[in-house]
Structure 1
Amino acid sequence: MTQTSSSTAPARGPVDHDVRDQIVAAATEHFSRYGYSKTTVSDLAKAIGFSKAYIYKFFESKQAIGEMICANCLAEIEADVCQAVSEATLPPDKLRRIFKVITEASLRLFFQDRKLFEIAASAATEDWQAVVEYDARMRQLLLDVLQEGRQSGDFERKTPLDETVTSIHLVMRPFRNPLLLQHSMEGSEEAPALLASLVLRSLSP
């Protein structure tokens, strides 16, 4: 699993990655069984066999643990998308792959466990830092592909680059946000390809 940013879920006390990973793994299993909203830090402490105070040495709140789980999931999606982009040569193909893989990976991770979906929903609703950082990296990936496409002559250069990135980022939002994606599952196979084609036509020089 891809490592997450240290800015997510800050640690208290000594940094012991093994213990932190153990807490996150146990919390993931516990949330998947009982749900995120119904679980307290005291519940986690009992399930793991640690004291509540000991858990607070590593995570300042239940949300901090949820953020780490969310960040791990988003890192998996990001890794899949970056891998797909790296395997494409032409900028238009890279853009198509971003649409396709971000939808497939998001569906797989957000909805493979309905109870863990609560974490993704909370993260999206409350703009957790893990989500903000993930969105920023996806914007940067789009920016890189668009710049490459403009340099190669595949994409037009008249529209301000920031405006183009923002527009495409908004078009992709229903496939990144679990709250929106859950209402678009019926068309999740064909919609990304159709929208990618529409975006690429708008980018034609």
Structure 2
Amino acid sequence: MTKTTNHTTSGRGPADHEVRDQIVKAATEHFRLYGFEKTAVSDLAKAIGFSKAYIYKFFESKQAIGELICANCLREIEADIRAAVDGAARPPEKLRRMFKAAVESSLRLFFEDRKLYDIAAAAATERWAAVRAYEERIAVMLQDILRQGRESEDFERKTPLDETAMAIYLVMRPYLNPLLLQHSQEHADEAPAQLSSLVLRSLSP
């Protein structure tokens, strides 16, 4: 697959946005049925009644369509994590809930919509922009919890914040990264509680 950047088009009117939505909807259904690799742009064009050339006016490649769908999936996982974190009062519980929600939401995508999960796995393999942006936002969320924990004196303050955040992120990454999750799912039931407990002990002041 060819790497793409800046795949969205700005300055389009409502009608054009409606067409983009039609393309994304058709692509999502095709990817669910046949998978990302086996779906061609010509298949999408036929399903919507457009020409391939017309679709390329809105998306420069199939990957650009896939990346938007991938971004939507990752945004759903991120929203679940955010809701879980925001539902806790103190930083230690926020961290526990972050671990738990990350695993549960990622596994839900894995088991319930495997074809779309395959897009996310391909995106992780090739480091699509949607995946990099998702990982950066999760890292920022984690660092914010750590900062709150230091301010409330729940967490130690000696280790540099960025070093602590990176270490914890590496612990979480097998359950956040779609490519790695498929190799970690056998431990998914017990992993959130065990890993978060281990991390919290290391953060004790």
Q: State the secondary structure of the residue aligned to 1:175.
A: helix
Shift of 1:12: 7.4
Shift of 1:13: 7.9
Tell me the residue number matched to 1:3.
none
Change (3 A) 1:12 1:58: farther
Tell me the residue number matched to 1:151.
151
Tell me if the contact between 2:26 and 2:47 (Cα under 8 Å) persists in the aligned partners.
Answer: yes
Tell me if the contact between 1:110 and 1:120 (Cα under 8 Å) persists in the aligned partners.
Answer: no
Q: State the secondary structure of the residue aligned to 2:115.
A: coil
Q: Deviations over 1:114-167 (max 9, x none)?
A: 222221111000000000000010010011100000000000000010100100
Tell me if the contact between 1:12 and 1:56 (Cα under 8 Å) persists in the aligned partners.
Answer: no
**Structure 1 residues 106-121: aligned runs within 5 Å:** 106-121=106-121
Tell me the residue number matched to 2:59.
59
C-alpha distance in 2, partners of 1:63/1:110? 20
Tell me the residue number matched to 1:81.
81
C-alpha distance in 2, partners of 1:111/1:134? 20
C-alpha distance in 1, partners of 2:76/2:192? 19
Shift of 1:8: 6.0
Shift of 1:19: 1.6
Aligned length: 199
C-alpha distance in 1, partners of 2:195/2:12? 48
Tell me the residue number matched to 1:47.
47
TM-score (norm: length of structure 2): 0.93
Tell me the residue number matched to 2:35.
35
C-alpha distance in 2, partners of 1:94/1:13? 39
Shift of 1:173: 0.6
C-alpha distance in 2, partners of 1:119/1:178? 9
Gaps of 5+ in 2: none
Structure 2 letter corresponding to 1:182: Q
Tell me if the contact between 1:70 and 1:130 (Cα under 8 Å) persists in the aligned partners.
Answer: yes
Tell me if the contact between 1:13 and 1:58 (Cα under 8 Å) persists in the aligned partners.
Answer: no
C-alpha distance in 2, partners of 1:125/1:23? 24
C-alpha distance in 1, partners of 2:7/2:78? 19
Question: How high is the sequence identity, in percent, across the aligned residues?
Answer: 69
Tell me if the contact between 2:70 and 2:116 (Cα under 8 Å) persists in the aligned partners.
Answer: no
Tell me the residue number matched to 1:204.
204
Q: Deviations over 1:24-65 (max 9, x none)?
A: 111010011111101111111111211111111111100000
C-alpha distance in 2, partners of 1:146/1:30? 41
TM-score (norm: length of structure 1): 0.93
Matched, 1:22 2:18: no
Q: State the secondary structure of the residue aligned to 1:74.
A: helix
When structure 1 is superposed on structure 2, of 107-116 and 82-91 the one drifting more is 107-116
